[in-house]
Homo-oligomer: A and B are copies of this chain.
Amino acid sequence: MAKRLIPLFNRVLVEKIVPPSRTNAGILLPEKSSKLNSGKVIAVGPGLHTKEGKLIPVAVKEGDTVLLPEYGGTEVKLENKEYHLYRDDDILGTLHD
């Protein structure tokens, strides 16, 4: 079965970041500190055509860390790994160190 997904239009394939529930040193973290709903961009579509026929490229790129909305997105399972597809205008922003 097919393995790699190239999204269509302005869709973005995201792998959600599951925050560690304990630190490397083994200390259990309280649930509150891990509330941020973020993900890694795995693949992006070519963009969306405006009504004039111009192509607006997707606003994020492969490798970006993104802040995701609490609801929405379509769950996709590829090779037993779980991903989510979002329209780029549903993604709230990019996260940087």
- Interface of A toward B, CB cutoff 8 Å: 1-9, 11, 13, 17, 19, 32-33, 35-36, 38, 43, 45-46, 49-54, 56, 59-60, 65, 67, 69-70, 74, 76-78, 80, 85, 88-89, 91-97
Bound complex: CA A91 to CA B9 (Å): 9
Copies in the complex: 7
**A93 contacts B49, CB within 8 Å?**
no
Q: What residue in chain B is nearest A3 (Cβ atoms)? A: B97
Nearest-CB distance from A90 to chain B (Å)? 9
A/B interface sample: 24 pairs, CB < 8 A: A3-B95, A3-B96, A3-B97, A4-B95, A5-B67, A5-B93, A6-B93, A6-B94, A6-B96, A7-B92, A8-B59, A8-B60, A8-B91, A11-B93, A13-B93, A36-B76, A45-B93, A49-B50, A50-B53, A52-B52, A52-B53, A53-B54, A76-B92, A85-B93
